């Protein structure tokens, strides 16, 4: 992989992990358990290699970034990637089968930054539900 | 004579203590049996803990029990990793993969790290005095044995480093990150944005639609007249992509087993 390609992939991975973290903590329950779904999503759906995912979570890379950096980054993404980020974030929101007001706000901010129409958002939402079931079977027996 | 590493467990759980003791005795002479005993030890620990936490899962397999304990937050990430390492290497041993002794020693050390926490968990308030792990003594080494041991250690270090990177890539937060601090910062910032958005009358996503999708059975969603076809396509595509990654992860584990098997066979031939 060239340096430029690596840089571009690390930027995408950073945007993803920042968006996913924000959704994962938005309901106030910090996930203490292993949350491998976010990483599997990055590897499988965003097609990011292992070293890129590791580099993205390096403190010097992600440590000082904020929610607004994430929003700025998703605005620059090509549309299909933006939709994949939205789908993945909704997948995380579905994990505990309820949505806290701040989770709704974060999803709304992302949808607005990506400029998703209502129909696009609904498509992401349904895709997220399908993937959440595949990655986190426990969400099906959470009741 | 009681084991220096595991003897203290006798007071808390005799069966677990006996399994650890047996594993320790086999570590040099029969590493596969050592791993088999350690796997049984971890399974016994998990069953005891699951009886406290989710008794309906008491007849589940070890992997399911460990995942349930992780979800319930009884099991920390670090302890879960140690238990999974013992489960995985124990499974290999049960299936007949020859194992170098340094592999068994690493898992024995993991079992020791787990033992103090386990005793404190099953007997709340117990003051458990855990000594530093001491490798059990063995007959005097020849130079050849020392070299073989060093090769095994080097292999285990390399496998652990590769597994660590794989795990690090998959987790949402890095192992050294302060998750509470990060969460606090993100939530505070999100609240600030929420206040601004409310004041500006920014629109929200259709939460009713989200709730509807969340509540629907996945089968009904896949058959839905409007969402059915895209859902089925998304399902098939995502499944294929996840299978690729799972295949890659399984191939890595298979490669580790092959490296260990080759080393164990070389050592057996040398002996």
Asked if B169 lies within 8 A of A67 by C-beta distance, the reply is no
Q: How far is A6 from chain B (nearest CA, A)?
A: 15
Asked if the structure places residue A141 within a domain, the reply is no
Asked if the structure places residue A37 within a domain, the reply is yes
A107: helix, coil or strand? helix
Question: What is the pTM for the complete model shown?
Answer: 0.86
Asked if the structure places residue A96 within a domain, the reply is yes
* Statement: residue B62 has pLDDT above 80: yes
Asked if the structure places residue A143 within a domain, the reply is no
Asked if the structure places residue A95 within a domain, the reply is yes
Pick from B73, B221, B230: CB nearest A33: B73
ipTM here: 0.90
* CA nearest to B183, candidates A59, A56, A25: A25
At A33-87, the pLDDT tens digits run: 547 789 999 999 999 999 999 999 999 999 999 999 999 999 999 999 999 999 9
Q: How confident is the model at residue A140 (pLDDT cuts 50, 70, 90)?
A: very low
Provide the domain limits for residue A32: 3-136
**CB < 8 Å to B76, chain A:** 32
At B124-179, the pLDDT tens digits run: 877 888 889 999 988 777 777 888 899 999 999 999 999 999 999 999 998 788 88
Which pair of structure tokens corresponds to residue A42?
Answer: 């990055």
* Statement: residue B54 has pLDDT above 50: yes
Listed in sequence order, the residues at least 6 apart from B77 whose beta carbon sits closer than 8 Å to its beta carbon are A32, A33, A34, B70, B171, B175
At B79-118, the pLDDT tens digits run: 999 999 999 999 999 998 899 999 999 999 999 999 999 9
CATH code, domain carrying A83: 1.10.3680.10
Asked if A121 lies within 8 A of B206 by C-beta distance, the reply is yes
Q: Tokens 């491998």 label which residue? A: A36
On average, the pLDDT of chain A sits at: 88
Asked if A108 lies within 8 A of B67 by C-beta distance, the reply is no
Asked if the structure places residue A127 within a domain, the reply is yes
Q: Cα torsion at B260, B81, B250, A45 (round to 10°)?
A: -150
Count how many domains chain A has.
1
Listed in sequence order, the residues at least 6 apart from A7 whose beta carbon sits closer than 8 Å to its beta carbon are none
* Statement: residue B19 has pLDDT above 60: yes
Asked if A32 lies within 8 A of B245 by C-beta distance, the reply is no
* pLDDT given at position B211: 86
At B213-271, the pLDDT tens digits run: 888 887 787 877 777 777 788 788 889 999 999 999 999 999 999 999 999 888 788 76
Pick from A21, A53, A94: CB nearest B169: A53
Asked if B210 lies within 8 A of A135 by C-beta distance, the reply is no
* Statement: residue A32 has pLDDT above 80: no
């Amino acid at each position: 992989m060239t340096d430029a390609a690596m840089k571009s992939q690390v930027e995408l991975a950073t945007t993803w992990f920042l968006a996913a973290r924000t959704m994962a903590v938005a309901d106030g329950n910090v996930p203490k358990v292993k949350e491998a779904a976010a990483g599997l999503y990055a590897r499988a759906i965003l097609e990011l290699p292992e070293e890129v995912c590791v580099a993205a979570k390096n403190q010097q890379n992600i440590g000082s970034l904020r929610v607004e950096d994430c929003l700025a980054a998703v605005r620059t993404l090509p549309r299909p990637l933006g939709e994949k980020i939205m789908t993945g974030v909704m997948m995380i929101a579905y994990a505990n089968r309820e949505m806290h007001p701040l989770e709704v706000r974060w999803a709304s901010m992302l949808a607005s930054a990506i400029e998703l129409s209502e129909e696009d958002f609904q498509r992401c939402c349904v895709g997220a539900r399908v993937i959440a079931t595949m990655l986190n079977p426990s969400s099906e027996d959470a009741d | 004579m009681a084991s220096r590493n595991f003897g203290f467990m006798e007071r808390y759980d005799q069966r677990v203590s006996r399994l650890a003791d047996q594993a320790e005795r086999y570590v040099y002479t029969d590493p596969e049996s050592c791993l088999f005993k350690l796997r049984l030890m971890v399974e016994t620990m998990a069953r005891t803990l699951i009886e406290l936490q989710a008794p309906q899962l008491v007849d589940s397999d070890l992997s399911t029990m460990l995942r349930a304990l992780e979800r319930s937050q009884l099991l920390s990430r670090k302890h879960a990793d140690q238990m999974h390492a013992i489960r995985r290497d124990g499974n290999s041993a049960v299936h007949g993969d020859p194992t170098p002794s340094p592999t068994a020693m690493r898992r024995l050390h993991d079992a020791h790290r787990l033992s103090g926490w386990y005793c404190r968990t099953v007997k709340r308030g117990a003051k458990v005095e855990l000594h530093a792990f001491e490798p059990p003594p063995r007959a005097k080494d020849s130079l050849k044995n020392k070299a073989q041991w060093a090769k095994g250690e080097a292999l285990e270090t390399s496998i652990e480093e590769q597994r660590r990177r794989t795990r690090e890539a998959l987790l949402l937060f890095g192992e050294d990150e302060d998750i509470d601090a990060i969460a606090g910062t993100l939530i505070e910032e999100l609240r600030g944005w929420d206040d601004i958005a409310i004041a500006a009358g920014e629109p929200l996503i259709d939460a009713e639609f989200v709730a509807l999708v969340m509540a629907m059975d996945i089968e009904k969603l896949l058959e839905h007249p409007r969402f059915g076809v895209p859902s089925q396509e998304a399902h098939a595509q995502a499944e294929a992509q996840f299978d690729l990654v799972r295949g890659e992860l399984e191939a890595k584990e298979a490669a580790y087993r092959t490296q260990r098997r080759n080393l164990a066979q070389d050592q057996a031939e040398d002996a």
